[in-house]
């Protein structure tokens, strides 16, 4: 059974930084799978932040939402089966619940959150101005 655990959220002032982590366990895949970070602010739809495909030998170049390009960086810690999201120069617009998600074996990263079958529990990020 695939299990994702997100951590690292917290409160920070505008301009500050946070690093989120998502640990993955129980995923037996044959080719590759997509890992992504999403966020959902109150009253808004869940939106993709960043995603990349992971295989046994490599990872793809991450893609980012326009709103976070140049400020957020996603990376994988292979040894720990962990996907990290480094967030810099945070603004109040980044305040949201952040979720990590894993896609289906052999599928490229979809854009829609509904296409991801596996989700972590979410970690809150609050940015004060």
Answer for the pair 46, 33: CB distance below 8 angstroms, yes or no: no
pLDDT at 17: 98
pLDDT tens figures, 20-29 = 999 999 999 8
CA distance 102 to 47: 15
Give the burial string for 13-38 (b: 16+ CB within 10 Å, else e). Answer: eeeeebebbbbbeebeeeebbbbbbb
pLDDT on residue 94: 98
What's the pLDDT at 81? Answer: 86
Q: What is the pLDDT of residue 59?
A: 87
Chain segment 77-102, per-residue pLDDT in tens: 866 689 999 999 999 999 999 999 99
Q: Residue 126 has what pLDDT?
A: 98
The pLDDT tens digits for 38-54 are 999 999 999 999 999 99
What local confidence, expressed as pLDDT, does residue 57 receive? 85
Q: What is the pLDDT of residue 77?
A: 84
Q: What is the pLDDT of residue 80?
A: 67
pLDDT in tens, 1-21: 999 999 999 999 999 999 999
């Amino acid at each position: 059974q695939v299990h994702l655990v997100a951590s690292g959220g917290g409160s920070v002032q505008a301009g500050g930084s946070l690093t989120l982590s998502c640990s993955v366990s129980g995923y037996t895949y044959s080719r590759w799978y997509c890992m992504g970070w999403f966020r959902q602010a109150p009253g808004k739809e869940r939106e993709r932040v960043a995603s990349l495909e992971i295989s046994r030998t490599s990872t793809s170049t991450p893609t980012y939402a326009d709103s976070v390009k140049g400020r957020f960086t996603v990376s994988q810690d292979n040894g720990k089966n962990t996907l990290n999201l480094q967030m810099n120069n945070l603004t109040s617009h980044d305040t949201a619940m952040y979720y990590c998600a894993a896609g289906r074996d052999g599928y490229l990263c979809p854009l829609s959150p509904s296409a991801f079958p596996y989700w972590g529990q979410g970690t809150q990020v609050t940015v004060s101005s």
